[in-house]
A = this chain, B = another copy of it.
Amino acid sequence: MTATIHKLDPRGEPSLDPVMGLVAHDLNLVNAVILDRMQSDIPLIPELAGHLIAGGGKRLRPMLTLASAKLLDYAGTRHHRLAAAVEFIHTATLLHDDVVDGSDLRRGKRTANLIWGNPASVLVGDFLFSRSFELMVEDGSLKVLKILSGASAVIAEGEVNQLTAVRRIETSEERYLDIIGAKTAALFAAACRIAAVVAERGEEEEAALDAYGRNLGIAFQLVDDAIDYVSDAGTMGKDAGDDFREGKMTLPVILAYARGDAEQKAFWKDAVSGKRSSDEDLAHAIGLMQETRAVDDTLARARHYGQRAVDALGGFSGGAAKNAMIEAVEFAVARAF
């Protein structure tokens, strides 16, 4: 027997199309649940929620639930409601994130907090979060509820951890990985894991899908944090340099600071503390990152976690679902090239 070795190949042109095609029908049904359950007698709720939910999100997390269910040949419909619950948790987090960061651009559109104010964003986030639990309760699996309530608590912890690391130049790569593991990867992992629960598979397959999602989530966030230093608002739908101006300790900064000489270290201290935040300072920062290969190596780290995500699928037999999930990883790590 010959082993099938899936190696990430950044020279290809990977796409999300296979995974989107795989789950397109299911995703329509998920979208119907989402639209139905974001309704309320209070008009501001669907108005504000709809701005973000209808506003160009890729539905990446629900797609992971759906693709994982395909991988397991799950033939039921429970995952539609649960995928909607996952998206509601994510949307609630985005609404609160934008308040926390004071962001004004998300997915290329003005943020909800900019249009309706911080109070409305906080409260509609709370509503969507509650609604996500109502969806889970309707499904009725205590195991799913445990996975997703646990992930929600971990996400909040990760967000607080990130908040307290802001403008702290001493933040380590280990702490950064803790933060993104919690704020991003926990929900990716849970989104995949719950598919194994509804498909009534054992702990081994649950753990494998959890590992796929978790490593993909880390890779995804690493690339996202790298992109903040290579792109502009037009291509990414968020303001380039946001992380820089907010003094966020992402891996590109951690690496550039660790590798910099005394003069560069002084610049980074000033930049992270908020004393250097002009467009010229950002351009200088990007130059230093090229010099120290900080962005390149952030992307190399992303490929490492991407490879781990792919390998986590090793126990599943091949087919369209597996291939699409592998290509989704390749797409995630290739985005910045």
Contact = CB atoms under 8 A, between A and B. Distances in A.
A106 to B, nearest CB: 16
Interface in A111-131: 118-120, 122-124, 126-127, 129-131
A122 B100 contact: yes
A160 interface: yes
A119 B99 contact: yes
Contacts of A133: 133, 145, 149, 152
A168 to B, nearest CB: 13
Contact of A44 (B129, B137, B164): B164
Q: Among A93, A99, A122, A136, which residue has the most Cβ atoms of chain B within 10 A?
A: A122
Contact of A134 (B96, B119, B120, B149): B149
Interface residues of A, number: 43
A104 to B, nearest CB: 16
Contact of A160 (B99, B120, B150, B161): B120
A330 B120 CA distance: 35
Interface of A: 40-45, 92-93, 96, 99-101, 118-120, 122-124, 126-127, 129-131, 133-134, 136-137, 140, 142, 145-146, 149-150, 152-153, 155-157, 159-161, 163-164
17 contacts: A42-B161, A99-B118, A101-B119, A120-B160, A123-B156, A123-B160, A123-B163, A126-B129, A126-B152, A126-B156, A127-B153, A127-B156, A130-B156, A134-B146, A134-B150, A136-B149, A137-B146
